[in-house]
Structure 1
């Protein structure tokens, strides 16, 4: 019999608290949306970065998933510059 613990997401397993895990889940989702948007532009990282109000190295960090480098506020602002609207839905805690 295994004593392995089950988690709802990888973030629940990696982060120290449910609050940190939730924050990382949200940042990962926003970064995914930004990555998809940038890929759809079919332009250089330099041009895409400029259109989003970022430097090319900063966009590169974002595209490579450096979650620790971006706050939720920053990611929402980048999406707004891309013409995207972020909607928040709050629900009861998921049951494992």
Structure 2
């Protein structure tokens, strides 16, 4: 990451993964889960669903949807979050490719 000083404050550019920047364990998984959560929130908003309607469609309880929309995704597996998106009418494509680096990364992209 590159560093610079802005108005007397040391500023460090993000790697693109805030969880890795904070040196949290399982940073790639956290980024995937947060990205899936953002997509779920966008889908609910775009469809004009209430939390109760979204809960019914995703097979969750309304309190769990409320927690999810507040960014509390740690109790959800990646698979459950993907299932929620499927139930909201989204296809999910997983692509595996070789990397030039010794260890690969999990990346969430959306169309």
If the length of structure 2 is used for normalisation, what is the TM-score? 0.69
Alignment partner for residue 72 of structure 2, among 59, 66, 78? 66
More strand by share: 2
Q: Which has the larger radius of gyration?
A: 2
Report matched runs for 1:7-86 at 5 Å.
8=15, 9-17=17-25, 20-86=26-92
Structure 1 unpaired stretches of 5+: none
Number of aligned residue pairs: 91
More helix by share: 1
- TM superposition shift of 1:54: 1.0
CA RMSD between the two structures: 2.4
Using the alignment, how far apart are the partners of 1:37 and 1:16 within structure 2? 28
- TM superposition shift of 1:26: 0.5
If the length of structure 1 is used for normalisation, what is the TM-score? 0.78
Using the alignment, how far apart are the partners of 2:84 and 2:75 within structure 1? 14
